[in-house]
Amino acid sequence: MRIFLIISIFCFSSCISFRGITIPTGVDSFYVEMPVVNELNAPPELAQVFMETLRQKVREQSRLVWDENEPHVGFTPIIKKYTVTSVAPQEGDLVAFNRLDVTVSIEYEDTTDEENNYSKSFSAFQDFNATENFQDLEEGLIEMIFEDITERIFNDTFSDW
């Protein structure tokens, strides 16, 4: 029993770790800026959807709380790419699949330790059948892409691998 107590105290003395994430004990709050969207063909709600997806990811998978005034860590996203392209061409100038491709650039700032700051781009895509109506699929494709991107942002930010 004493060994368990000693190990527990040692593990929690400098960082709190949960499911492979490591957040220093002095970091308690976060903020996600409303993303800038650099693509004219992107849907108008894209920035809000991304901000909410990242915000929910951090809130649900860490102990950090939302703080708009003086957050310990902050994310500043820019949606740099939002394109639909044809992939998998077939005979007769037909296309079997189209691809929605999204790139988000993140500026991460840790006010408690500048060495943790980073700037990085994250990309993801989803293919869909070219015979399907993109507008019918767009919301679901965006959701899958943003889940992938926010998972990688979260892991790159808070995982001590």
In the beta sheet, which residues pair with residue 38?
none
pLDDT digits (tens, 9 = 90+) for 2-46: 444 333 433 443 344 345 788 888 899 999 999 999 988 899 999
What's residue 87's pLDDT?
87
Whose CA is closest to 145, among 20, 42, 53, 17? 53
Sequence ranges of the domains in the chain: 28-158
What's residue 143's pLDDT?
98
What's residue 6's pLDDT?
36
- 109: tokens are 């700032």
Pick the CATH number of 28-158 from 3.30.1700.10, 3.40.50.720, 3.40.630.10, 3.30.160.150: 3.30.160.150
What's residue 4's pLDDT?
41
pLDDT digits (tens, 9 = 90+) for 63-72: 999 999 999 9
pLDDT category of residue 124 using cuts at 50, 70 and 90: very high
Residue carrying structure tokens 């400098």: 14
What's residue 110's pLDDT?
96
Those residues with Cβ within 8 angstroms of residue 148's Cβ, 6 or more apart along the chain or in another chain:
124
Contact criterion met (CB below 8 Å) for 75 and 29:
no
pLDDT category of residue 128 using cuts at 50, 70 and 90: very high
Buried b (16+ CB within 10 A) or exposed e, 25-59: eebebbbbeebebeeeebeeebbeebbebbbebbe
